[in-house]
Structure 1
């Protein structure tokens, strides 16, 4: 099914099955690939914020062994839907900040360290992200990173630049693993999106694009 959209499949790239009542992963990836192709074929200059640079194009999918090497180096396993996306749909792209995706585009995963306030450490992605949906902090940084060497955005991978220093992140470790969260360095802390996983977030953006919307929230 994915091949009909020019999507590459390799042995072992995903595990099928229904997750939380949603369609199984190959069906979801094929649907997203189709919507992305529709977005790329829309006439004229893209009206969605940030899309003029990538024009809904992604770089080629990554070989599974490249993803496995990244996971082994950092001691993590990418969430299945994100892993399936970068190995079957595409990765990186022609824009200044990567390929087709929300805000300024989808960053390649080797630029994962953008949210870190301290120097990157290969073990950082395996350390649990302290925030969880519904939790509000009086002072986010003071509570989760009281020391100079503490890293509040441990356990997260940068997905996209929103502008004005804000980022969208994918949680790789901790109680909110698999969720998309937006940075907020003060007050109540990071903001979780309504989406249960990366692919839901990405498809919601595509739906906004195809509806002719100018901004994604």
Structure 2
């Protein structure tokens, strides 16, 4: 059986290759939001920088996301970051974009209350019943979709590692079908390379 680290290394290399292909495509980008970052991404973070972030927030980043920001790249030139779905990938320093309350370094270590396939009558009332409760605790902001909607990575809780999209309605956040960050990101790259205009 193959080592899971080898599998992750192969996935990261494949994603990096697809990102290079997207960046070298001739003409103007047609994918929604890509004119912001033009498929450019900032330099990868050092392992030490990631460890500092994890210790500060009391979390361990999912292995695939951690591998991406330490080997492929991190942040970037766009208003909302570097090459990624919608308006681009945020820097991890912008982790708090989804929070409705004041940022608190302990917020990432608190379990995210949403679960895949769970139906809510009133998401905010159920996820944050107390005055000081934060419904988007345990998540790191990944990408700005426009109109206030965001893509988030669940760091803590039963859905750890999954990508979820905020939703202003009472039904609450929507989990993507992807099992992890890298699957979500690679599906976006596949859509870009296929000439699609929107990512869903």
Query: By the TM > 0.5 criterion, same fold?
Result: yes
In structure 2, distance between residues paired with 1:47 and 1:68? 37
Q: Report the CA distance between 1:17 and its aligned residue.
A: 2.9
- Is residue 2:108 matched to residue 1:125? yes
2:23 paired residue among 40, 44, 47: 40
Contact kept, 8 Å, 1:62 with 1:87, in 2: the verdict is yes
Question: Which segments of 5 or more consecutive residues in structure 1 lack a partner in the other structure?
Answer: 1-15
Q: Report the CA distance between 1:186 and its aligned residue.
A: 2.8
- Specify the alignment match of 1:7 in structure 2: none
- Specify the alignment match of 1:17 in structure 2: 3
Q: How many residues align?
A: 199
In structure 1, distance between residues paired with 2:37 and 2:126? 38
- Specify the alignment match of 2:119 in structure 1: 136
Q: Give the alignment of 1:131-210 within 5 angstroms.
A: 131-210=114-193
4+ residue segments displaced more than 6 Å: none
How well do the aligned residues superpose, as a CA RMSD in angstroms? 1.2
More helix by share: 2
Question: Which segments of 5 or more consecutive residues in structure 2 lack a partner in the other structure?
Answer: none
In structure 1, distance between residues paired with 2:107 and 2:133? 11
In structure 1, distance between residues paired with 2:12 and 2:3? 13
TM-score of the pair, normalised by structure 2: 0.97
Contact kept, 8 Å, 1:183 with 1:190, in 2: the verdict is yes
Contact kept, 8 Å, 1:140 with 1:185, in 2: the verdict is no
How big is each residue's C-alpha offset from its partner over 1:189-217, in whole Å with a ceiling of 9 and x where there is no partner? Answer: 10000000000000000000000000001
In structure 2, distance between residues paired with 1:204 and 1:187? 28
